[in-house]
Amino acid sequence: MNQYAEAFAAFNQDAESGWLKSQRIAAFARFEHLGFPINGVENWKYTNTKALAKRDFLLPKTVDLDAAREVLKARDVALDDHRLVFVNGVYAPELSNLSGLPAALVVEPLSEALDKELELTCGMMGRLAGIDCDVFTALNFAFAGEGAMIRIGNHQVIEKPISLIHLSVAGDQASMSHPRILVAAGANSQVRLVEHFLGSEEAVHFTNRVAEVVLERNAQLTHYLLQEPGDQSWLVNRTHVEQKRDSRYYCHHINLGGKLVRDDLVCDLNGTGAESEFSGLLFGRNKQHLDIHSLVNHNEPRTYSRETYKAILNDKARGVFNGKVIVKKDSQQIDAQQSNANLLLSDQAEIDTKPELEIYADDVKCSHGATTGQLDETALFYLKSRGLSDELARGLLTLAFANEVVDKIDIEPIYQLVETTVAGHLPHQVNLDDL
Amino acid sequence: MIEIKDLHARVEGTEILKGLNLSIQPGEVHAIMGPNGAGKSTLSAVLTGREGYEVTSGSVTFEGEDLLEMDVEERARAGLLLGFQYPVEIPGVKNVYLLKAALNAKRKEQGLDEIEAPAFMKLIREKLKFMKMDNSFMHRAVNEGFSGGEKKRNEILQMLILEPKLALLDEIDSGLDIDAMKTVADGVNSLRTAERSILMITHYQRLLDYIVPDVIHVLVDGRIVKTGDKSLAFELEKKGYDWLLEGAA
């Protein structure tokens, strides 16, 4: 913990006095008080943060933009977008593109938002995910300074997706970043937000991101969370969405690995007609550890949620899916569905799945189901009896399992990246492109 | 084409095939008939290499090679293709992927390049039309939600595209109405050439009205107890299997 105290002192000492500085101090005190969840905290039962707690992460002093370009060359989905790129958490204007922003759209790095619109920005920070939320959120707040501010005006349909690229590369020492993403989508607006977490194989980085998203009446946000931080990197992600009446939040949540990835997703359905949908994939290999905790609060009548999560785990990978749905008293006519299907490709892979329903109303439709299995042997035999190699047959069946989730991705380059990654071990004799 | 000699096989410790002999020459169509439990399904499982079937003695030579030494996929590439009694539903894998992968696996074995996409699509459309199947079949998942008739037609479609040397048809007529059976029979008959052999396993004599075999074998209790020409089928229809069962015991 000591290195955090030193890093924090250095980080906050030059800050101007005011709300933000004092909040950071309070947040750091909260972080020190709680400590990392090492000893049997229920919410962290299946995810061990000991290795994370032991490492000395520092804020990066300099960042290697050439290395960042290399990573982008290999894995960027290269959309026609409005984009902010962060290298080891630090805004990189050289790699970003904010030209041609529509008038009613604000996309800016948080550092600029704090300079230009301090009061507005502070008003949005910590409202949904404050320092009392949990230890990582407190730590994020203590180091608040980087991230993004996105505001969409009322009635705006934003044509190009907005991309936030969280990129990590190797530095002199293990580094950390604490981005905070603030999104306010105005009434009746519609927007697509892509967040791509990626890194080089050599990067040793800890990303501790918090996003606070507010959808006003009838707003629609489609969120593409594409997570592949690199085999030596940690990613702790909290996404908290507040939804007003008739708003829609659609999340394509694709997790392609990392040393340890933990997601906390919270949706507050605070207005009648509000709807949230999660469609997610965990694809783990080696000793990767991928953990999803979701929480949907049906706080008003006639609110809807659907969650479909699939996990494919190979080698010694471990997955956790904990999906919680709470239906408040008097929240009638709720429809909440949750399903979790898991495919274990090796004997040593493991999944812990736990759906939780807390229902305090009586006129509700809630369902959940979880299945775990291996590849279907009869299907495997059928494919091989047509001359397909064992490897190819397994690849096709694995891809088929993922497709229910992957097929829903409606931005073609993202779909392609996910499909080729999952099908990574397909021999090239099946060229999927020309079919 | 294929030579089966004194084949003994076990399933979960129980001997099912008890010294089966069978020889099929290129261009011949053979049918194997027999009562339930005679070992018909075990024979097709052993020939295609399904797990859980243990060959205890005997040999199977396919085109001069030891078939029993080959993996499942090697047998298919060498030209032995099974039409399943119960085709497997594979959600998420499109027919077109399976067909292209299978065809290219075979072409690779033969030292040929992958088939070009336009030629492949042309071939598929032609065969689909022949099997009275809609083009949309290609982009549906393998057998998923197919009716019984559609599944069997899909099996024959694969045969027409993959052109095996020996087509092994396991109860290809079960679960079909008469129209579907005619379509399937037309497909099978179109496979008949001077080089290609066909082995049909069936419970019902009616199939043989539509696909007339050169040779009929009766399988009882793990052994072929009688071999004859197509007239044997009529005899079986009239008299049933009992007279042969007594003979076997």
pLDDT of residue A7: 92
pLDDT tens readout for residues B7-64: 999 999 899 999 999 999 999 999 999 888 889 999 999 999 999 999 999 999 999 9
Asked if the C-beta of B51 comes within 8 angstroms of chain A's C-beta atoms, the answer is yes
pLDDT of residue A92: 97
A307 and A404 Cβ atoms separated by less than 8 Å: no
pLDDT tens readout for residues A135-148: 999 999 999 999 99
List CB contacts (< 8 A) between B104 and chain A: 429-430
pLDDT band at A171 (very low <50, low <70, confident <90, very high): confident
Asked if the C-beta of B106 comes within 8 angstroms of chain A's C-beta atoms, the answer is yes
> CA-CA distances (angstroms) from residue A72 to A12, A162, A198, A234?
32, 17, 9, 19
Asked if the C-beta of B73 comes within 8 angstroms of chain A's C-beta atoms, the answer is yes
Asked if the C-beta of B82 comes within 8 angstroms of chain A's C-beta atoms, the answer is yes
Q: What is the mean pLDDT of residues B173-182?
A: 87
pLDDT of residue B199: 96
Whether A388 sits inside 8 A of B101 (CB atoms) is yes
Chain A residues near any Cβ of chain B (below 8 Å): 376-379, 381-390, 392-393, 396-397, 399-401, 403-404, 429-432, 434-435
Q: Domain ends where: A270, A288, A306?
A: A270
pLDDT of residue A3: 86
Please indicate, yes or no, whether residues A24 and A167 belong to a single structural domain of this protein. Answer: yes
Does any domain span residue A143? yes
Residue A74 neighbours by CB distance under 10 Å: 9
In Å, how far is B8's CA from the nearest CA of chain A? 22
Residue B166 neighbours by CB distance under 10 Å: 23
Helices (H) and strands (E) in chain B, counts: 9, 12
pLDDT of residue B249: 47
Asked if the C-beta of B117 comes within 8 angstroms of chain A's C-beta atoms, the answer is yes
pLDDT tens readout for residues A114-170: 999 999 999 999 999 999 999 999 999 999 999 999 999 999 999 999 999 999 999
Pairing of strands A275-284, A304-313: parallel
Asked if the C-beta of B96 comes within 8 angstroms of chain A's C-beta atoms, the answer is yes
**Phi and psi at residue B238, in whole multiples of 5°?**
-75, -45
Token representation of residue A106 = 């604000």
Instruction: Find the angle CA(B161)-CA(B83)-CA(B178) to the nearest 5 degrees.
Output: 100
Does any domain span residue A132? yes
Whether B141 sits inside 8 A of A399 (CB atoms) is no
List CB contacts (< 8 A) between A431 and chain B: 114
Task: Give me the total of CB pairs closer than 8 Å, taking one residue from chain A and one from chain B.
Answer: 95
B206 and B3 Cβ atoms separated by less than 8 Å: no
Whether B72 sits inside 8 A of A385 (CB atoms) is yes
List CB contacts (< 8 A) between B87 and chain A: 382
What is the count of structural domains for chain A? Answer: 2
Q: How far apart are alpha carbons B161 and B140 in whole angstroms?
A: 17
Asked if the C-beta of B92 comes within 8 angstroms of chain A's C-beta atoms, the answer is yes
Asked if residue A191 has pLDDT above 70, the reply is: yes
Does any domain span residue A221? yes
pLDDT of residue A51: 86
Q: Which of A1-15, A90-104, B197-211 has the highest mean pLDDT?
A: A90-104
Asked if residue B196 has pLDDT above 70, the reply is: yes
Q: How far apart are alpha carbons B5 and A24 in whole angstroms?
A: 83
Nearest chain A Cα to B159, which residue? A386
Whether B72 sits inside 8 A of A403 (CB atoms) is no
pLDDT of residue A428: 47
- Name the percent of chain A lying above pLDDT 70: 97
In 3D, which of B41, B147, B42, B175 has the Cα closest to residue B89?
A: B147
The 3-state DSSP class for residue B194 equals coil
Asked if residue B248 has pLDDT above 60, the reply is: no
Does any domain span residue A367? no
Q: What is the mean pLDDT of residues A341-356?
A: 92
Calculate the average pLDDT of chain A: 93
Whether B90 sits inside 8 A of A379 (CB atoms) is yes
A352 and A47 Cβ atoms separated by less than 8 Å: no
Nearest chain B Cα to A394, which residue? B93
Question: To the nearest 10°, the Cα dihedral for B150, B153, B157, B163?
Answer: 150
pLDDT tens readout for residues A46-72: 898 888 888 889 999 888 999 999 999
> B residues 185-244 near A, CB within 8 Å?
none
> CA-CA distances (angstroms) from residue A193 to A6, A119, B245?
35, 24, 73
Q: How far apart are alpha carbons A324 and A294 in whole angstroms?
A: 6
Q: How far apart are alpha carbons B53 and B42 in whole angstroms?
A: 8
The ipTM value here is 0.93
pLDDT tens readout for residues B73-101: 999 999 999 999 999 999 888 899 899 99
List CB contacts (< 8 A) between A343 and chain B: none
Runs of H (alpha helix) within B58-176: 72-78, 95-109, 117-130, 148-162
How many alpha carbons fall within 13 Å on the CB side of residue A58? Answer: 13
Calculate the average pLDDT of chain B: 91
Q: Domain ends where: A270, A292, A307?
A: A270
Does any domain span residue A403? yes
Whether B87 sits inside 8 A of A382 (CB atoms) is yes
pLDDT of residue B247: 55
* Homologous superfamily of B2-248: P-loop containing nucleotide triphosphate hydrolases (3.40.50.300)
Asked if residue B246 has pLDDT above 70, the reply is: no
In Å, how far is B234's CA from the nearest CA of chain A? 33
Please indicate, yes or no, whether residues A76 and A211 belong to a single structural domain of this protein. Answer: yes
Asked if residue A426 has pLDDT above 80, the reply is: no
Domain that holds residue A130: 2-270
Asked if the C-beta of B45 comes within 8 angstroms of chain A's C-beta atoms, the answer is no
The beta-carbon neighbor of B73 closest among A384, A400, A429 is: A384
Asked if the C-beta of B88 comes within 8 angstroms of chain A's C-beta atoms, the answer is yes
List CB contacts (< 8 A) between B82 and chain A: 385
Q: Domain ends where: A207, A235, A270?
A: A270
Q: How far apart are alpha carbons A89 and A66 in whole angstroms?
A: 16
The beta-carbon neighbor of A386 closest among B92, B94, B98 is: B98
pLDDT of residue A161: 98
